[in-house]
Amino acid sequence: MNKSSIAIVALLALVGGASISWFLNSNKPVELEDGLWFGEQARALPEFELVNHNNQPLTRSSLIGKWNLIFFGYTHCPDICPASLQTMAEMFTAIEDPDVLEAIQVYFVSVDPERDNPEILAAYVTYFNPAFIGATAPLKKLTPLTRSLGIAHDIRNKSEASTNYDVDHSSAIVLINPQAEFAGLFGAPHDALTLARDMTRIVEHN
Rank residues 4 and 164 by Cβ distance to another protein and give the closer one.
Answer: 164
Q: Which stretch binds another protein (CB under 8 A): 7-15, 29-37, 41-49, 181-189?
A: 181-189
8 A C-beta contact, residue 67 and residue 105: yes
At 83, is the secondary structure helix, strand, or coil?
helix
Indicate the residue among 103 and 149 with the shorter CB distance to another protein.
149
The correct pick among 6, 15, 83, 131 for binding another protein (CB under 8 A) is 83
- Least distance from another protein to the Cβ atom of residue 172, Å: 6
Judged by phi (left if over 0) then psi (alpha if -120 to 50, else beta), residue 157 lies in: left
Q: 14, 152, 204, 205: which one contacts another protein (CB under 8 A)?
A: 152
**47 near another protein, rule: CB under 8 A:** no
d(CA 51, CA 63): 13
Would you say 124 or 180 has its CB closer to another protein?
Answer: 124
The count of residues interacting with another protein (CB under 8 A) is 26
136 bridge partner residues = 51
**One-letter identity of residue 179:** Q
Q: Is 80 in the site for another protein (CB under 8 A)?
A: yes
188 binds another protein (CB under 8 A): yes
At a CB cut-off of 8 Å and minimum separation 6, what does 44 contact?
A: 179, 180, 181, 182
Judged by CB under 8 A, the chain residues 123 through 142 that form the site for another protein are: 123-124, 127
Altogether, the residues listed in the chain come to a count of 206
Q: What are the distances in angstroms from CA 60 to CA 31, 42, 65, 68?
A: 27, 15, 11, 11
Q: What span, in angstroms and rounded, lies between the C-alpha atoms of 35 and 32?
A: 6
Kindly tell me which residue out of 79, 98, 140, 160 binds another protein, with binding defined by CB under 8 A.
Answer: 79
Residues lying near another protein in the complex (CB under 8 A) are found at 73, 75-80, 82-83, 119-120, 123-124, 127, 152, 156, 164, 166, 168-172, 187-189
